[in-house]
Structure 1
Amino acid sequence: MSQVKIGILGIGNMGKGHTKYLMNGEVKGGVLSAICDIDRTKLEWVKENYGDKIQLFDSVESFFASKAFDVVLIATPHYDHPTLAIEAFQHGYHVLVEKPAGVYTKQVREMNEAAAKSDKLFGIMYNQRTNPLYQKLKDLISSGELGEIKRTNWIITNWYRSQSYYDSGGWRATWAGEGGGVLINQDPHQLDLWQWTTGLMPKRVRAFCQFGKWRNIEVEDDVTAYVEYENGATGVFITTTGEAPGTNRYEVSGDRGKITIENGKMTFHRLRVPESQFNREFKGGFGQPECWVSDIPVGTSEGSQHLGITQNFVNAILKGDKLLAPGEEGIKGLTISNAIHLSTWTDNWVNLPIDEDLYYSKLQEQIKNSTAQKDVKQINMDVAGTH
Structure 2
Amino acid sequence: MNTVRIGIVGLGNMGKGHAQYLIEGQVKGAVLTAVSDVRPECLAQAKENWGAHLHTYESASEMFRSGEIDGVLLCTPHYEHPKQAIEALQAGLHVLVEKPAGVYTKQVREMNEVAATSGRVFGIMYNQRTNPLYAKLKELISSGELGEVRRTNWIITNWYRSQAYYNSGGWRATWAGEGGGVLINQDPHQLDLWQWTTGLMPKRVRAFCGFGKHRNIEVENDVTAYVEYENGATGVFVTSTYEAPGTNRYEISGDRGKIVIENDRMTFWRLRQLESEFNRVNTESFAQPECWKFEVPIVPGGAQHKEITQDWTNAILHGTPLLAPGEEGIKGLTISNAMQLSTWIDGWVDLPIDEDLYYEKLQEQIARSAVSAG
Sort the TM-score into its range (normalised by shorter chain): over 0.9
- Partners of 2:214 and 2:25 lie apart in 1 by 43
Residue in structure 1 matched with residue 309 of structure 2 by the alignment: 310
Residue in structure 2 matched with residue 176 of structure 1 by the alignment: 176
Residue in structure 1 matched with residue 49 of structure 2 by the alignment: 49
Answer yes or no: is the 8 Å Cα contact 2:124–2:325 preserved in 1: yes
Answer yes or no: is the 8 Å Cα contact 2:27–2:309 preserved in 1: yes
- SS of the aligned residue for 2:218 comes to coil
Residue in structure 1 matched with residue 93 of structure 2 by the alignment: 93
Give, as a single letter, the amino acid of the residue that structure 1 aligns with 2:195.
Q
- Partners of 1:308 and 1:63 lie apart in 2 by 25
Residue in structure 2 matched with residue 363 of structure 1 by the alignment: 362
Give, as a single letter, the amino acid of the residue that structure 1 aligns with 2:11.
I
RCO (CA 8 Å, sep 6+): is it higher in 1 or 2? 1
- Partners of 1:319 and 1:120 lie apart in 2 by 13
Q: 1:48 Cα deviation (Å)?
A: 2.0
- SS of the aligned residue for 1:72 comes to strand
- SS of the aligned residue for 1:292 comes to strand
- Partners of 2:50 and 2:119 lie apart in 1 by 33
1:172-321 map, 5 Å: 172-301=172-301, 303-321=302-320
- Partners of 2:51 and 2:116 lie apart in 1 by 38
Residue in structure 2 matched with residue 339 of structure 1 by the alignment: 338
Give, as a single letter, the amino acid of the residue that structure 2 aligns with 1:349.
W
- Partners of 2:367 and 2:319 lie apart in 1 by 45
Give, as a single letter, the amino acid of the residue that structure 2 aligns with 1:346.
I
- Partners of 1:51 and 1:231 lie apart in 2 by 55
Residue in structure 2 matched with residue 69 of structure 1 by the alignment: 69
Residue in structure 2 matched with residue 384 of structure 1 by the alignment: none
Q: 1:60 Cα deviation (Å)?
A: 2.0
Q: 1:228 Cα deviation (Å)?
A: 0.1
- Partners of 1:171 and 1:2 lie apart in 2 by 41
- SS of the aligned residue for 2:327 comes to helix
Answer yes or no: is the 8 Å Cα contact 2:93–2:120 preserved in 1: yes
Residue in structure 2 matched with residue 28 of structure 1 by the alignment: 28
Give, as a single letter, the amino acid of the residue that structure 1 aligns with 2:197.
T
Give, as a single letter, the amino acid of the residue that structure 1 aligns with 2:76.
T
- Partners of 1:61 and 1:144 lie apart in 2 by 47
1:348 paired with 2:368, answer no
Residue in structure 2 matched with residue 80 of structure 1 by the alignment: 80
- SS of the aligned residue for 2:140 comes to helix
- SS of the aligned residue for 1:315 comes to helix
- Partners of 1:192 and 1:102 lie apart in 2 by 13
Q: 1:51 Cα deviation (Å)?
A: 2.5
Residue in structure 1 matched with residue 161 of structure 2 by the alignment: 161
- Partners of 1:276 and 1:61 lie apart in 2 by 58
Q: 1:64 Cα deviation (Å)?
A: 1.4
Give, as a single letter, the amino acid of the residue that structure 1 aligns with 2:30.
G
Q: 1:154 Cα deviation (Å)?
A: 0.3
- Partners of 2:205 and 2:107 lie apart in 1 by 21
Q: 1:75 Cα deviation (Å)?
A: 0.5
Q: 1:61 Cα deviation (Å)?
A: 2.6
Deviations 1:13-68 (A, max 9, x none): 00000000000000000000100001112112202211213100011231111011
- Partners of 2:18 and 2:62 lie apart in 1 by 21
Residue in structure 2 matched with residue 372 of structure 1 by the alignment: 371
- Partners of 1:216 and 1:38 lie apart in 2 by 29
- Give the paired residue count: 374
Give, as a single letter, the amino acid of the residue that structure 2 aligns with 1:128.
Q
- SS of the aligned residue for 1:230 comes to coil
Deviations 1:58-88 (A, max 9, x none): 1123111101110011000000000000000
- Partners of 1:143 and 1:230 lie apart in 2 by 19
Answer yes or no: is the 8 Å Cα contact 2:61–2:87 preserved in 1: no
Give, as a single letter, the amino acid of the residue that structure 1 aligns with 2:204.
R
- Partners of 1:190 and 1:50 lie apart in 2 by 33
- SS of the aligned residue for 1:6 comes to strand
Percentage of pairs with the same residue? 71
- SS of the aligned residue for 1:95 comes to strand
Q: 1:3 Cα deviation (Å)?
A: 0.7
Deviations 1:195-245 (A, max 9, x none): 000000000000000000121000000000000000000000000000000
- SS of the aligned residue for 1:180 comes to coil
- Partners of 1:341 and 1:187 lie apart in 2 by 13
For normalisation by structure 2, the TM-score amounts to 0.99
- Partners of 1:141 and 1:50 lie apart in 2 by 44
- Partners of 1:59 and 1:225 lie apart in 2 by 40
- SS of the aligned residue for 1:32 comes to strand
Runs of 4+ in 1 over 4 A off after TM superposition: none
Deviations 1:320-350 (A, max 9, x none): 1110000000000000000000000000000
Gaps spanning 5+ residues in structure 1: where?
Answer: 378-387
For normalisation by structure 1, the TM-score amounts to 0.96
Gaps spanning 5+ residues in structure 2: where?
Answer: none
Q: 1:300 Cα deviation (Å)?
A: 4.2
- SS of the aligned residue for 2:32 comes to strand
